[in-house]
Chains A and B, each alone.
Chain A
């Protein structure tokens, strides 16, 4: 049976388990004239769980391990000289075998033909054993569980426990994925830092990752001073936040405190649409409209500016992230209890005094998390920067100059044909780690700020 067929059968078993569990609990309680501890469906849920989930886990486990076991078996029966091949070449060979097994074309090479036949045999055998194991397990578990059903069994509490474990499983998957990503980034970075000194990377001011491919190539010694990139990232994000925070916060306050309900129900979705526009459109807009405008403005003031600048990218990015600030702030401001406002008005406070003194402090944690979300969006943004701020790694705090950011350089490091163990590609992981640490620090700072200034309302 194929994976899909087994899965379907297990789902059917799940329903079967549910109904038999229900039925059995009812008939048992009727027979013994004893009140059920829980509702019949709780017994149903329990049986449904036991009749499908353990079998499903075995199925998944089997399917994951299957290919490596089969591959090892094929390699083991290959002629000796083929077994001497490197791991990469063996992998290619096995791939070829698998591909051949799917096609019906005759195979001339004896070794390969044997391998293909053996492979088909193994797969078929595995399928059989798998189906039998899974179904035997499912039915055994179901009948054992059914045997446990008694009217005094605390099915409701057991179901509650199951749900709890399901939640824990989901939460741990999310956490483990994050941890996995972090560790893989850390390990690759460590390899990178074996070739490039950590301090040279963090505080070096010269970024030109091109490496010499031939010994005699000119200007091709990679130099990995990432400081300009981080400064560029922070500069552009700063410009973006300078635009987005006041505009976003003010519009949130207007929408939640001043505007009529009708205007709000129209304006809020429109504002949120800003976040839905693809960033490449923003980049286009920045490069075609905003950047030339800034350049012309500079010229009329007697400055000669390049048409790529951190300012242009930052402004457009700021517009893009307004909804992150405004939408979250609007939600938390609206959630401040009306009693707070009434209390303040009853003291003879005006609307703006009430907003400043009572509402904003009460809503601060939510506002900060909105700003933080916006900031991480700005730090991670790539497309707008490529199009409007350029690729040149200048170490500058002047927003009128062209700069580049960490994410943009990561893209340029990894696009095109690359060796995966060259310093150039590994540098991308180091940059990623740096970015991760930057946002982590930002998060910690803002958590601290919120805890310090948070003002609880009940």
Chain B
């Protein structure tokens, strides 16, 4: 495990996030966010805006807090017993950690796709219909059928599974399962989709399918994706954030980050000289 050091002890100084962390048309904006697991601090003072209908990529070495930060955005960290968060996280200018905010409703607005495909032990149809049934999104069986078909089609999976909608979702291949998980997320029509290394378990072809899917989804949704593949970040995202040992080092347009990084740590990482 990486030993997280205090800002002053780092070999290369991280003063404050360099680049352009703030933008005008922000969907999410986080200010002074610290995250602790028990005594241990995993995120230090993260300040960043996430633009509407954009894809933002989060990169950085393993254990630097990308997943932790992502999970703050839909309050998935609430389910971890000793995880504490301080600072402001605003979604459409509303503090999502304020007392009146119901995390359950928040998660219906901010969907999440996980690193390992985790379809429910139910049929493909029921996997996609799950959220719609929970939130009463479909009035009738016909509407539900339509919603399932539409979501599967948009996730690029419908053609492959249209004859086996009532077979278990766990019987699909890894790439198909991941697209099923994306389908079930877009079925509840969230505003933001968080993706934590969604293609790390997939082959290049399935990865390409999902990347295309992300790009087409970004017309309608705001997407934040954690990835270890810099090519992937470069291919799909408009902006890129680089994390290092719990610090948000640099945020900028993807092009700028990869061609002309401002911070030494970012440069080290993208040129493969990390460590």
Residues of A whose CB lies within 8 Å of any CB of B are 337, 339-350, 353, 357-358, 361-362, 455-458
Contacts and interface: CB of A to CB of B under 8 A. Distances in A.
Given A339-B114, A455-B168, A347 B134 contact: yes
Given A357-B130, A458-B170, A345 B120 contact: no
B96 interface: no
Contacts of B122: 361, 455
B134 A343 contact: no
Interface stretch (B100-108, B220-228, B241-249, B265-273): B100-108
Contacts, number: 75
Q: How extensive is the interface on chain B, given as a class?
A: 20 to 34
Contacts of A350: 104
Contacts of A340: 118, 120-121
10 contacts: A341-B79, A342-B112, A347-B108, A347-B184, A347-B185, A348-B131, A349-B134, A350-B104, A457-B121, A457-B170
B107 A345 contact: yes
Contact of A342 (B76, B119, B188): B76
B185 A342 contact: no
B4 to A, nearest CB: 24
**4 nearest A-B pairs in the assembled complex, by CB-CB distance:** A348-B108, A455-B121, A346-B112, A339-B118
A249 B80 CA distance: 24
A346 B188 contact: no
Contacts of B170: 456-458
A348 B134 contact: yes
A344 B122 CA distance: 12
B118 A345 contact: no
Nearest to A361: B121
A345 B76 CA distance: 8
Contacts of A337: 118
B21 interface: no
Contacts of B120: 340, 343-344, 357-358, 362, 455, 457
B263 interface: no
Nearest to B74: A346
A342 B135 CA distance: 17
A202 B103 CA distance: 60
Given A339-B114, A343-B119, 12 more contacts: A344-B120, A346-B114, A347-B134, A347-B185, A348-B105, A348-B107, A348-B135, A348-B188, A349-B130, A361-B121, A455-B122, A455-B168
Contact of B114 (A342, A357, A358, A455): A342
A357 B109 CA distance: 20
A195 to B, nearest CB: 53
Contacts of B130: 344, 347, 349, 357
B181 interface: yes
B226 to A, nearest CB: 14
A456 B118 CA distance: 12
B76 A339 contact: no
Interface string B111-135: 1101010111110000000110011
B97 to A, nearest CB: 16
A358 to B, nearest CB: 5
Interface string B53-76: 000000000000000000000101
A343 B105 contact: no
Contacts of A349: 104, 130-131, 134
Interface in B172-187: 181, 184-185
Given A347-B108, A348-B135, A362 B185 contact: no
Contacts of B108: 347-348
B240 to A, nearest CB: 24
Interface in B77-99: 79
Contacts of B116: 339
A456 B181 contact: no
Interface in B132-179: 134-135, 168, 170
B71 to A, nearest CB: 9
Contacts of B135: 348
Nearest to B177: A458
B82 to A, nearest CB: 11
